[in-house]
């Protein structure tokens, strides 16, 4: 009975893995034209999915920690992170890294800007200008 129950649990994890790969990662949904890419893209996507899982285990362990984004109210008792949690954390980290070099702007920054005269920076359209642009 123990072996049967363990086989069922293992099978359920495999089914969840396939569902996540197809619905969240997009395995077998690639739009590629090269016949070689048709066979390589799903392999690449599964490899990236595996690397994402491995990186999360190495960085944060098997348990859900405070570094992940907050859960919805109906899912507060989740012990381990889901694939969607990992993707959201990855997106959050990529977005935060992109914003480090740039000062964050707010709506107040746009209120300070004076309206620019859009026509002032454009050269007049004439035969000389059109020939220069075409060349």
In angstroms, the Cα distances linking 53 to 23, 62, 104, 117 are 16, 10, 31, 52
Q: Say how far apart CA 5 and CA 11 lie, in whole Å.
A: 10
**Is residue 124 domain-resident?**
no
**Is residue 105 domain-resident?**
no
Q: Say how far apart CA 25 and CA 44 lie, in whole Å.
A: 11
Asked whether the beta carbons of 83 and 20 are under 8 A apart, the reply is yes
pLDDT tens, position by position, 39-88? 899 999 999 999 988 888 888 888 888 888 888 888 888 888 888 888 98
**Is residue 103 domain-resident?**
no
Q: What is the percent of the chain with per-residue pLDDT over 70, rounded to a whole number? A: 73
- Taking the whole predicted model, whether its pTM rises above 0.75 is answered as no
Total domains, the chain: 1
Average pLDDT over residues 3-12: 87
In angstroms, the Cα distances linking 27 to 6, 19, 55, 127, 131 are 27, 10, 20, 54, 50
Measured at the alpha carbon of residue 97, what is the angle toward residues 94 and 100, in degrees to the nearest 5?
155
**Is residue 114 domain-resident?**
no
- Write out the residue range of the structural domain in which residue 82 sits: 2-98
**Is residue 128 domain-resident?**
no
């Amino acid at each position: 009975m123990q072996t049967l129950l363990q086989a069922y649990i293992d099978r359920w994890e495999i089914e969840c893995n396939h569902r996540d790969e197809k619905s969240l990662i997009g395995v077998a949904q690639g739009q590629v034209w090269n016949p070689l890419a048709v066979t390589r893209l799903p392999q690449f996507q599964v490899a990236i999915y595996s690397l994402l899982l491995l990186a999360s285990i190495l960085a944060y362990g098997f348990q859900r920690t405070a570094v992940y984004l907050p859960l919805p109210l109906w899912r507060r008792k989740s012990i381990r992170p889901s694939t969607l949690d990992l993707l959201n954390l990855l997106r959050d980290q990529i977005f935060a890294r992109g914003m480090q070099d740039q000062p964050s702007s707010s709506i107040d920054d746009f209120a300070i800007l004076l309206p620019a005269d859009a026509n002032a920076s454009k050269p007049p359209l004439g035969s000389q200008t059109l020939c220069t642009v075409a060349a």
